[in-house]
């Protein structure tokens, strides 16, 4: 079920002497918390075959983010930027949710006090939810409550640079020439990917929901993010300032490791099914 090309192979879980105690401690914290926020980044999808942004196998190892993920880059060379997004749409479109997505989907469907906030634009949390609920055993209300708060938009939606119209779009992108790039059906202006680039404001309502969830949470479980990009990386700090704790799952140390009460080093697809109480 999970596709995992060689170039995104993850290191195995590190067998530190105290890793069992850390798992127990994290399980206890998650099990007793009245409200939990799960914040995910690209690492949660790595075992599905989606390249992360940074690091040795990162999407941007040959390009700086500023070259492609800014409004200025799109204005200067829309063809190049659409080429990159077209490539990613194709690649991500062939990926399947992994065991981490599945564990999170079950937990959010089962437990109304767990909210998911994701930085990911790949749609794999949503797909895992859809599949977990496909037998009809969850009411529509549980499904909509379990939907992730998507901070950075979607790879499978476009936004018109003229009239602002948003459309679902899973099509391959024709990057032959500037004239062949996706155009708005209503006003014929150039379409852009409906994602949040550097220097752009996040949707204020979406950000507000994420902030409220972070402040209300007794535990913020942070999974697979380098915690370098703000305001997403500040959300766990809000949980802490409000009296809650941070638990981290990542294959590497991050700036949040120091802040976390428990930091578990290992791949999300192995750790989360053992950690989450469903």
**Does 160 engage in binding with Zn ion (CB under 5 A)?**
yes
Query: Which option in ligand BJW, Zn ion, none does residue 163 bind, with CB closer than 5 to 8 A by kind?
Result: Zn ion
Binding residue for ligand BJW (CB under 6 A) from 29, 81, 117, 121?
121
**Does 102 engage in binding with ligand BJW (CB under 6 A)?**
no
* Interface characters, 163-202, with Zn ion (x: CB under 5 A): x-x------------------x-xx-x-------------
Residue 202 backbone dihedrals phi, psi, to 5 degrees: -75, 155
**Does 250 engage in binding with ligand BJW (CB under 6 A)?**
yes
**Does 264 engage in binding with ligand BJW (CB under 6 A)?**
no
The catalytically annotated residue of 101, 152, 171, 230 is 152
- Interface with ligand BJW (CB under 6 A): 10, 41-43, 46-47, 52-55, 58, 65, 69, 119, 121, 152, 195-202, 224-226, 228-231, 249-252, 254, 267-268
- Interface with Zn ion (CB under 5 A): 160, 162-163, 165, 184, 186-187, 189
């Amino acid at each position: 079920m999970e596709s995992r090309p060689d170039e995104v192979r993850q290191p195995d879980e590190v067998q530190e002497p105290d890793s069992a105690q850390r798992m127990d401690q994290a399980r206890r914290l998650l099990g007793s918390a009245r409200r939990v926020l799960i914040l995910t980044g690209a690492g949660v999808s790595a075992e599905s075959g989606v390249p992360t942004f940074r690091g040795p196998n990162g999407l941007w190892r040959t390009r700086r983010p500023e070259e492609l993920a800014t409004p200025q880059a799109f204005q200067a060379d829309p063809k190049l930027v659409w080429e990159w997004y077209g490539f990613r749409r194709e690649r991500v479109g062939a990926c399947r949710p992994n065991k981490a997505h599945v564990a999170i989907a079950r937990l959010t469907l089962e437990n109304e006090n767990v909210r998911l906030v994701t930085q990911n634009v790949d749609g794999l949390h949503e797909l895992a939810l859809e599949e977990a609920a496909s037998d009809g055993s969850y009411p529509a209300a549980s499904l909509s409550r379990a939907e992730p708060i998507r901070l950075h938009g979607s790879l499978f939606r476009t936004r018109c640079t003229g009239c602002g119209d948003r459309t679902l779009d899973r099509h391959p992108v024709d990057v032959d020439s500037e004239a062949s790039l996706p155009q708005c059906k209503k006003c014929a202006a150039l379409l852009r990917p409906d994602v949040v680039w550097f220097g752009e404001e996040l949707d204020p309502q979406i950000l507000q929901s994420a902030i409220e969830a972070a402040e209300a949470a007794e535990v913020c479980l942070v999974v697979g993010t380098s915690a370098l990009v703000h305001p997403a990386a500040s959300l766990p700090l809000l949980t802490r300032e409000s009296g809650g704790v941070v638990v981290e799952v990542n294959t590497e140390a991050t700036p949040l490791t120091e802040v976390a009460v428990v930091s578990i080093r290992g791949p999300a697809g192995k750790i989360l099914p053992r950690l989450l109480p469903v």
